[in-house]
Chains A and B, each alone.
Chain A
Amino acid sequence: MEQDNILVMQQVDKSFDRVVALSQVNFELKHREILGLLGGNGAGKTTLMNILYGLYRADSGKILLNDKPVTILSPKDAIRQGIGMVHQHFLQINNYTVLENIILGSKVSRPLTSNYQVEEKAIKQLCERFGLEIDLSARVETLPMGTRQKVEILKTLYRGVNILILDEPTTNLIPQEVDSLFETLKIMVREGLSIVFITHKLREVLSICDRISVLREGKNVISLTRKDASDEMLVRAMVGDNMNLEKSVMFTTREQSAASEGREQTLTLEGVSKINSLKIQELTDISLSIKAGEILGVAGVAGNGQRELAEVVMGIQPVTTGKVSFMGKDITSQLTTERIAEGFVYIPEDRLADGFLNKTSVAHNLILGYHKLEPYSRKGIINWKNVFDSSRKMIAEYNIKTTGPDDIGGNLSGGNIQRVMIARAFSQPSKLMVAHNPTRGLDIPSMDFVYKKLLEHASTGASALLLSEDLDELLLICDRIAVMYRGKVVGILPRDKFEKYEIGRLMSGYDLESK
Chain B
Amino acid sequence: MTQVKKIFPYLVSVLAAFLVVGILLWVLKFNPLKAFETLLFTSFRTPNGFIQTLLKWIPLTLCALALTVPMSAGKFNIGAEGQMLVGAIGAAAVGIIGKDLPIGLLLPLVILAGTAAGALWGLVAAWLLYQFNINEILSTVLLNFISFSLVDFVATGPWRDPAAGHPTTVAIGEGGFLPMLVKNPPLHSGIIIAIIVAIAVYYFTSKTTAGYELVVTGANPRASKVHGIDVRKMFLFSLVLGAACAGLAGAIEVSGVHHRLIEGLHSNFATLGIIIGLMARGKNSAVPVVAFFISILEVGGSAMQRTVMVPVQIVLIAEALILIFILLSDIIKRRQK
Contact = CB atoms under 8 A, between A and B. Distances in A.
Interface stretch (B36-44, B180-188, B225-233): B225-233
Contacts of A143: none
A380 B226 contact: no
A358 B219 CA distance: 7
Contacts of A358: 219-220
Interface in B27-67: none
Contact of B209 (A335, A355, A359, A382): A382
Interface stretch (B106-114, B210-218, B269-277, B300-308): B210-218
B224 interface: yes
B223 interface: yes
Categorize the interface residue count of chain A: 20 to 34
B208 interface: yes
A357 B223 contact: yes
Contacts of B230: 335, 337
Categorize the interface residue count of chain B: 20 to 34
B223 A356 contact: yes
Contact of A346 (B210, B215, B222, B226): B226
B209 A368 contact: no
Which of A337, A382, A409 is packed against the most chain B CB atoms within 10 Å?
A382
Contact of A364 (B207, B212, B225, B228): B212
B227 A356 contact: no
Interface string A347-365: 0100001111111100010
A377 B209 contact: yes
A337 B230 CA distance: 9
A74 interface: no
Contacts of A377: 209, 212
B225 A316 contact: yes
A126 B176 CA distance: 87
Contacts of B210: 380
Interface string A303-329: 000000001001010000000000000
A384 B216 contact: no
Nearest to A409: B219
Contacts of B6: none
A381 interface: yes
B258 to A, nearest CB: 38
B337 interface: yes
A369 interface: yes
A381 B223 contact: no
Nearest to A341: B228
A380 B209 contact: yes
A353 B207 CA distance: 25
Which of B210, B212, B215, B229 is packed against the most chain A CB atoms within 10 Å?
B212
Contacts of B216: 357, 360, 364, 368
Nearest to A372: B209
B228 A337 contact: yes
Given A371-B213, A380-B210, A336 B226 contact: yes
Contacts of A311: 226
A340 interface: yes
Interface string B89-111: 00000000000000000000000
B227 to A, nearest CB: 3
Interface string B198-213: 0000000001111011
A255 interface: no
B208 A380 contact: yes
Interface string B219-255: 1101111111110000000000000000000000000
A368 B217 CA distance: 10
A423 B217 CA distance: 21
Given A17-B337, A316-B225, A381 B215 contact: no
A186 B261 CA distance: 85
Contacts of B213: 371
A353 B222 contact: yes
Given A17-B337, A357-B219, A360-B219, A371 B226 contact: no
A346 B227 contact: yes
Contacts of A357: 216, 219-220, 223-224
Contacts of B220: 353, 356-359
Contacts of A359: 218-220
A368 B207 contact: no
A279 B228 CA distance: 25
Which of B216, B219, B227 is packed against the most chain A CB atoms within 10 Å?
B227
A369 B228 contact: yes
A372 B223 CA distance: 16
A18 to B, nearest CB: 12
A470 B337 CA distance: 34
Nearest to B220: A357
Contacts of A316: 225-226
A384 B215 CA distance: 15
B278 to A, nearest CB: 16
Contacts of B207: 381-382, 384
Contact of A371 (B209, B218, B219, B223): B209
Which of A336, A337, A340, A357 is packed against the most chain B CB atoms within 10 Å?
A357
A170 B206 CA distance: 46
Nearest to A384: B207
Nearest to A357: B219
B223 A355 contact: yes
Contacts of A314: 226
A74 B230 CA distance: 45
Interface string A363-399: 0100011011000010011101000000000000000
A337 B229 contact: yes
Contacts of A346: 226-227
A54 B303 CA distance: 60
A380 B208 CA distance: 5
B224 A368 contact: yes
Given A357-B220, A358-B220, A364-B215, A381 B209 contact: yes
A345 B208 CA distance: 23
Contacts of A339: 228
B223 A360 contact: no
Contacts of B209: 371-372, 377, 380-382
B216 to A, nearest CB: 6
A369 B224 CA distance: 8
Which of A339, A353, A368 is packed against the most chain B CB atoms within 10 Å?
A368
Contacts of B337: 17
A371 B211 CA distance: 11
A234 B219 CA distance: 42
Nearest to B213: A371
Contacts of A384: 207
Nearest to A314: B226
A364 B226 contact: no
Interface string A15-50: 001000000000000000000000000000000000
27 contacts: A17-B337, A316-B225, A335-B228, A337-B229, A340-B228, A346-B227, A348-B226, A353-B220, A353-B222, A354-B223, A354-B226, A355-B223, A355-B226, A357-B223, A357-B224, A358-B220, A360-B216, A360-B219, A364-B219, A371-B209, A371-B213, A377-B212, A380-B209, A381-B207, A381-B209, A382-B207, A382-B208
Interface of B: 207-210, 212-213, 215-216, 218-220, 222-230, 337
List the 8 closest pairs (A to B, CB-CB), nearest first: A369-B227, A337-B228, A336-B228, A357-B219, A359-B219, A360-B219, A354-B226, A368-B227
Given A337-B230, A353-B222, 18 more contacts: A311-B226, A316-B226, A336-B225, A336-B228, A354-B222, A355-B226, A356-B223, A357-B219, A357-B220, A358-B219, A358-B220, A359-B218, A360-B219, A368-B223, A377-B212, A382-B208, A382-B209, A384-B207
